[in-house]
Amino acid sequence: MEFEKYINSLEESLCTLGNVQTKTINYGVQLLLTASGKKVTLNVYNGKKGINLVWGGENSDLRDQARELVHQIPLHNNKGSNTAGIRESQGSADASALSETVHCSSARPHFLLAEEPDFPGVWLGSDESGKGDYFGPLVVAAVCLDKKGGEALLAAGVKDCKSLSDEKVLALENVIRDTALAVSVLVMKPHVYNMRYDQVQSEGGSLNTLLALGHVAALKQAWLQYPQCKWSLVDQFAKNNDIPDGVHAFAPDMQVWQRPRAEEDIAVASASVLARAAFLQTLRQMAPEAGIGRIPKGGGEAATNAARRLVQKQGMDALERFVKLHFANTKKLWEIE
């Protein structure tokens, strides 16, 4: 049952990037994503040691974006514990294939950098929210903590926002702000997001470029509040990005760490909560202006249908103020129901 829910979540998330087809394979399910002439396959195997993800297709921005979205989807085992880590290696059959194994554990978010040599005990973590949601902003937040603050936030129940209800996320926002050494939250509303996305695309960039710029800006704002901080941790959403160079432009001696599943770290988890809280608050503020009732989260059919109602009510020009135009949902608005 949990595996089926996971597959459904994968399909709904990948639909924001293009057309998705699924078929049953031995010991699992295959998802085929197609967009702009590019194809990406994801084989999901349900084994005794956990969920094994095997990516196929050419190494491309589409696959990077798909992997980024997949890494945001929480996985629960039968006891409800969350994903604890991810192992990635090169596939032997295809040099461009990626194999990932997701292991389940009940471990809480912790201090991912604590075992590194010379760990100073003070560090920044950043995370984003809204990049898989058709409606609403892209939000990037950064949080600076010391060990004492990290322990206090763990005790308060702070963890990756995908493991928390919306109500809990909103309740923890002020707890984090009151405990952290520094925080920053940057909200990129849809009309600004669409303009910036078009700009980075015209310069040969992608969504990952825009994300990297957001992380650098959030880290800078938090660092300016507490410049004694010399270490930072960011989720590794792409193999190559400009985050280290961007951070070193304002803090040349900053250690920049990028790791898969960095949201297990309490500073990154705290940033995820602040980003999600700002996303939820902005979405609610947008609802009266949209005039279509409650705005749905995510990038599935409910979001597409809500956009259709918005167009019927306010016209096509209104879309840019409420949605991320490059999502596949926009093309679906012209499909005959």
At residue 48, the pLDDT reads 67
pLDDT: is 332 or 231 the higher one? 231
Any bridge partners for residue 94, and if so which? none
Residue % of the chain over a pLDDT of 70: 88
pLDDT digits (tens, 9 = 90+) for 212-222: 999 999 999 99
At residue 129, the pLDDT reads 95
Walk me through the domains of the chain, giving residue ranges and CATH numbers: 2-104 (no CATH), 122-282 (3.30.420.10)
316 burial type by CB count under 10 A (0-12 exposed, 13-18 middle, 19+ buried)? exposed
**How many angstroms separate the CA atoms of 180 and 223, rounded?**
12
At residue 51, the pLDDT reads 80
pTM of the model: 0.72
Min mean pLDDT across 14-28, 71-85, 192-206 is at 71-85
CB 261 within 8 A of CB 127: no
2 burial type by CB count under 10 A (0-12 exposed, 13-18 middle, 19+ buried)? middle
H helices within the chain, ranges in order? 2-14, 61-70, 147-156, 166-179, 190-202, 207-225, 243-250, 266-290, 301-314, 328-332
Task: Show Cβ contacts of residue 104 under 8 Å, excluding neighbours closer than 6 positions.
Answer: 50, 75, 76, 77, 81, 82, 83, 84
Mean pLDDT of 229-246: 87
CB 39 within 8 A of CB 18: no
Confidence tier at 61 by pLDDT (50, 70, 90): confident
Min mean pLDDT across 96-110, 195-209, 224-238, 290-304 is at 96-110
Pairing of strands 122-129, 98-104: unpaired
Mean pLDDT of 13-34: 86
Confidence tier at 95 by pLDDT (50, 70, 90): very low
Edge-to-edge, what's the strand order for the sheet holding 38-47? 19-25, 28-35, 38-47, 50-56, 98-104, 83-90
Confidence tier at 148 by pLDDT (50, 70, 90): very high
At residue 161, the pLDDT reads 93
How would you classify residue 315: left for phi > 0, otherwise alpha for psi between -120 and 50, otherwise beta? left
**How many angstroms separate the CA atoms of 271 and 293, rounded?**
29
At residue 316, the pLDDT reads 93
pLDDT digits (tens, 9 = 90+) for 160-189: 998 999 999 999 999 999 999 999 999 999
Task: Show Cβ contacts of residue 320 under 8 Å, excluding neighbours closer than 6 positions.
Answer: 190, 191, 194
CB 257 within 8 A of CB 233: yes
Residue 94 assigned to a binding site: no
Any bridge partners for residue 40, and if so which? 33
Residue 128 assigned to a binding site: yes
Mean pLDDT of 258-272: 92
Confidence tier at 333 by pLDDT (50, 70, 90): confident
pLDDT: is 155 or 92 the higher one? 155
Q: Which residue has the tokens 């100073």?
A: 120
At residue 66, the pLDDT reads 87
**How many angstroms separate the CA atoms of 104 and 2, rounded?**
12
Min mean pLDDT across 46-60, 145-159, 285-299, 314-328 is at 46-60
- Whether the CA torsion 212, 134, 310, 328 is positive or negative: it is positive
pLDDT digits (tens, 9 = 90+) for 293-325: 999 999 889 999 999 999 999 999 999 999 999
Q: How far apart are the first and last CA of the chain?
A: 30
261 burial type by CB count under 10 A (0-12 exposed, 13-18 middle, 19+ buried)? middle
CB atoms within 10 A of CB 5: 11
Mean pLDDT of 207-212: 93
pLDDT: is 162 or 109 the higher one? 162
pLDDT of residue 94 exceeding 60, the answer is no
Confidence tier at 8 by pLDDT (50, 70, 90): confident
Residue 61 assigned to a binding site: no
At residue 75, the pLDDT reads 61
At residue 97, the pLDDT reads 47
pLDDT of residue 76 exceeding 70, the answer is no
Cα distances (angstroms) measured from residue 29 to each of 22, 91, 130, 210? 7, 18, 27, 32
